[in-house]
Structure 1
Amino acid sequence: MRNWPKTIPGASFKGFPFQVDDEGIGESGRFVALHPYVKAEVHGTEDMGRKARTYHVTAYIVGDDADAAAMAFVERCSTPGAGMLVLPITEPVMAHCVGCATNNRKTEMGKVAFDLRFLEQGSEFGGPVPIALGDRIAQGALDTLGDVVADAISAFVPDERVGFLPPF
């Protein structure tokens, strides 16, 4: 039988520890473009790649200094750049904190609760790697090259139905 408390890591973001009540991947899957066709009963779909994953966490900090620690955690979540997000169940990931809201209750003094949202880190350059993009453009050109060559050759072959070359 697995001893869960001993086998799961403690939670932290950019090295700042916190406790977790709930965690989960809020968004995942694929971007799929829908292409409707005029007066058709079918449509096309195009896989545009994997969606960026979002993580939703209900967390808390508890202790005699929870108020000061909570404010320090809010500041950590507000610093620029991605940091390592470690959660008890989900694998560690480089992520940006895109939402950090506190929730304090009169009946729970010494505890500050948080609703946290994280977005996994993507490419720093905002798009496909230039070499991969160049490869994709070259592949597209090669895919159509056969049709272009066939059209060019057919322009010089006599049309046997009428016995002359087609006009240019």
Structure 2
Amino acid sequence: MRNWQKTLRPASFSGVSFFVDYDELTAGKRLAFHEVAGGRQTVVEELGLSTSVYDVTLYLLGDASDAQALALQAVMLAPGPGFLMLPMDGAMMATAQGFRRTRAKDRFGYVAFDATFIPAVNDGGAVLSLGDVTATVAAGIAAAASQFARFF
């Protein structure tokens, strides 16, 4: 039997780690339906892939969760795609489309985000080079550092 805890990857975006509570992939094909008057069959024309979307409910936990939340916000708002690592789907370049951050009283040290990521490549089997990973992590660290600098 598979030991899921040992096989799942640690989640992160542009070098900022987080935990995943829930993730959902929406993907598919763009289709055109051609219906002929009086006909009994519909001709389906494939127009390519629709844009894939990852909706992720993620959270930060611990004494530094407030600082981690600022760093995560900074990298999600940085221009261009970042390096997204999801526990089951693995690594990909993706652009953070938007996010919603939530905090609640009596849950100090817990910061949750609902985030939407759009993969840079819309087909399966995309592989990142070491150069892609290095450049993305460096960009994420620089963005987070500039965001932190505003507070000191």
- The alpha-carbon deviation at position 34 of structure 1 amounts to 1.2
Report what 1:161 is aligned to: none
C-alpha distance after superposition, 1:10-61 (max 9, x if no partner)? 0011121111111121x11211111222343333211111222111111011
Report what 1:110 is aligned to: 109
- The alpha-carbon deviation at position 7 of structure 1 amounts to 1.5
The structure, 1 or 2, with the larger RCO (C-alpha pairs under 8 Å, 6+ apart) is: 2
Matches within 5 A, 1:78-157: 78-122=77-121
| Unaligned ranges ≥5, structure 1 | 124-168
Q: Is contact 2:16–2:68 with CA below 8 Å preserved after alignment?
A: no
Report what 1:19 is aligned to: 19
Report what 1:4 is aligned to: 4
How far apart, in 2, do the equivalents of 1:102 and 1:47 lie?
A: 37
Q: Is contact 1:66–1:110 with CA below 8 Å preserved after alignment?
A: yes
Q: Any idea what SS the aligned residue of 2:39 has?
A: coil
Q: Is contact 1:24–1:90 with CA below 8 Å preserved after alignment?
A: no
Matched letter for residue 23 of structure 2: E
Report what 2:42 is aligned to: 43
Q: Is contact 2:60–2:68 with CA below 8 Å preserved after alignment?
A: yes
How far apart, in 2, do the equivalents of 1:51 and 1:85 lie?
A: 20
Instruction: Kindly name which structure, 1 or 2, has the bigger radius of gyration based on alpha carbons.
Output: 1
Structure 2 length-normalised TM: 0.73
- The alpha-carbon deviation at position 122 of structure 1 amounts to 4.2
Q: Any idea what SS the aligned residue of 1:86 has?
A: strand
How far apart, in 1, do the equivalents of 2:90 and 2:62 lie?
A: 27
Q: Percent identity?
A: 36
- Number of paired residues? 122
The structure richer in strand per residue is 2
| Unaligned ranges ≥5, structure 2 | 123-152
Structure 1 length-normalised TM: 0.67
